[in-house]
Amino acid sequence: MATNLLDNLRRDLDLITSSYEADFAGQSRATRDVAQIDGLIKRLKDVVARANGIPAAVQGAELTTILDEAKSTLDLYTNERLAILKAKEAGPIFDDFAVEATDANYVFARYGRHFAGQNRATRDIALLAEMLEELKGIQKRMSALLEEKNVADFGRDAEVVRGAITQYTSEIKEIEKAQKSGTPDEQAGLLANLANEQFAVYQTHFAGQARVSRRPALLMRVIDSLKTIKGRMDALKVGGLEEEYHLKNIGIVAERLGVYETELGEIRKARQGTALPDIMGNLGNAANELFEEYRKGYADKNRSQVDYANLGKICDRLGEVKRQMRDLSRAEQNEINERNLEIVVSQLSLFENEFEEVGKAQQQSKH
């Protein structure tokens, strides 16, 4: 009897989630039927009540799984109902503003991963400057939407973005200050580490990847950063630091600069010779490769044992794909790209949430 009860609960839960996926997921909230989601919420509450009503003597791990999933889904749909009501109140601009708010949240997540609580002297100024420019673009588009319709929730989101812009601007100055302190030997060591960070960016985002799906501006950022680092290394040499390790590091940076500048030319050539829809298709392929890497390394795995650092890289790489898809969607409407972008945004949210949960799990496992 217990098996039949569990089978019925699982079937009903799957039917509810299937209805939601068909009629709500990826749809404009302003056009969704509140009565329909109310019906799904009512059915979910019934599933939870029936699961809670099963005698303790026949409860087990499977019931716990179903009950946890039903409660989590109920919270999701309840929050979605509120978002639908807000969307209907705000009108057509809701979806446009939601895009900007979502992209801002991804910038905040990247800040948390690369800057919060980190030694300022070791941080990538160019990355933070790029994030700052991204937020300024978001702020500009948010302000334009607010001029069309001033919604309280939108105003609060815009204020958060303004606050982050102020914070990041100040942080850049603090990082610059931290990176200019220390003896010549300490400066040389720091510059070597900063160069290694740029090499790591190249390895993460370019090595072994299809050129047509790579963002030239990102590689340009790496090249500019390495030129700045080499300039400071050369200045230390002129100032009298001629230790063998330092001269060797200057040579390594010069060699990598040559390689990266050649690669930048090849990437630009590949993209110039590719039609925009084909670039969009290549970005879809790049996203699928990341989905598969996540599935193999993280789906249904023990959070305390997975590769936390690599999950952060997956988030960064998928964020790059999302950024390019978003930029291309502003340049040219393409149905396939729009659909792929929706999928990528959804998956990136999942990956970013999982990154936080894995961090918590691995922190707890240390105690």
Same domain flag for 294 and 343: yes
Decide: 197 and 316 in contact? Cβ < 8 Å: no
Rounded average pLDDT over 80-88: 81
Domain endpoint, select from 62, 90, 118: 90
Q: From the CB of residue 12, how many other CB atoms can be counted at a distance below 10 Å?
A: 17
Question: From CA 157, how far away is CA 104, in angstroms rounded?
Answer: 9
Q: How far is CA 166 from CA 154, 187, 270, in A?
A: 19, 28, 38
Same domain flag for 86 and 8: yes
Question: From CA 137, how far away is CA 47, in angstroms rounded?
Answer: 45
Domain endpoint, select from 240, 257, 274: 274
> Who contacts 48 (Cβ-Cβ below 8 Å, separation ≥6)?
67, 70, 71, 74
- Which of 28-42, 47-61, 308-322, 339-353 is the least confident region? 47-61
What is the pLDDT, as a whole number, of residue 366? 81
Question: From CA 153, how far away is CA 131, in angstroms rounded?
Answer: 23
Alpha helices in 239-307 (DSSP H): 244-272, 276-297
Same domain flag for 200 and 245: yes
Decide: 9 and 47 in contact? Cβ < 8 Å: yes
Same domain flag for 59 and 108: no
What is the pLDDT, as a whole number, of residue 57? 63
Same domain flag for 186 and 238: yes
Q: What is the DSSP string of 64-103?
A: HHHHHHHHHHHHHHHHHHHHHHHHHHH-THHHHHHHHHHH
Confidence of residue 63 (pLDDT cuts 50, 70, 90): confident
Same domain flag for 292 and 343: yes
User: What percentage of the chain carries pLDDT values higher than 90?
Assistant: 70
Decide: 240 and 184 in contact? Cβ < 8 Å: yes
Q: Dump pLDDT digits (tens) for 204-218.
A: 999 999 999 999 999
Question: From CA 251, how far away is CA 27, in angstroms rounded?
Answer: 54
Rounded average pLDDT over 219-243: 97
Determine the distance from the C-alpha atom of residue 310 to the mean position of all C-alpha atoms in its chain, rounded to a whole number: 13
Name the residue range of residue 47's domain: 2-90
Confidence of residue 262 (pLDDT cuts 50, 70, 90): very high
User: Residue 273 carries which DSSP code?
Assistant: T
Domain endpoint, select from 227, 250, 274: 274
Rounded average pLDDT over 257-278: 96
Closest CA to 214 of 132, 269, 259: 269
Same domain flag for 252 and 304: no
Residue 94 has pLDDT above 70, yes or no: yes
Decide: 187 and 245 in contact? Cβ < 8 Å: no
Decide: 361 and 304 in contact? Cβ < 8 Å: yes
Same domain flag for 251 and 294: no
Same domain flag for 9 and 28: yes
What is the pLDDT, as a whole number, of residue 1? 41
Residue 4 has pLDDT above 60, yes or no: yes
The answer for 116, left when phi > 0, alpha when psi is -120 to 50, beta otherwise, is: beta
The tokens describing 293, both together, are 């890497």
Same domain flag for 158 and 211: no
Residue 2 has pLDDT above 60, yes or no: no
> Mean pLDDT in the chain?
92
Same domain flag for 168 and 97: yes
Question: From CA 260, how far away is CA 80, in angstroms rounded?
Answer: 46
Decide: 320 and 287 in contact? Cβ < 8 Å: no
Tokens 């068909």 belong to residue: 22
Same domain flag for 25 and 69: yes
- Which CATH number do you get for residue 224? 1.20.58
Question: From CA 329, how far away is CA 313, in angstroms rounded?
Answer: 24
Residue 140 has pLDDT above 90, yes or no: yes
Q: Kindly state the helix (H) or strand (E) to which residue 328 belongs, with its residue range.
A: helix 308-331
User: What percentage of the chain carries pLDDT values higher than 70?
Assistant: 97
What is the pLDDT, as a whole number, of residue 320? 97
Question: From CA 105, how far away is CA 131, in angstroms rounded?
Answer: 11
Q: How far is CA 18 from CA 101, 246, 250, in A?
A: 27, 61, 58
Q: From the CB of residue 228, how many other CB atoms can be counted at a distance below 10 Å?
A: 15
> Who contacts 160 (Cβ-Cβ below 8 Å, separation ≥6)?
104
The domain total for the chain is: 4
What is the pLDDT, as a whole number, of residue 164? 98
* Burial category of 44 from C-beta neighbours within 10 Å (exposed 0-12, middle 13-18, buried 19 and up): buried
Tokens 């979502």 belong to residue: 102
Q: Dump pLDDT digits (tens) for 284-324.
A: 999 999 999 999 999 888 898 999 999 999 999 999 999 99
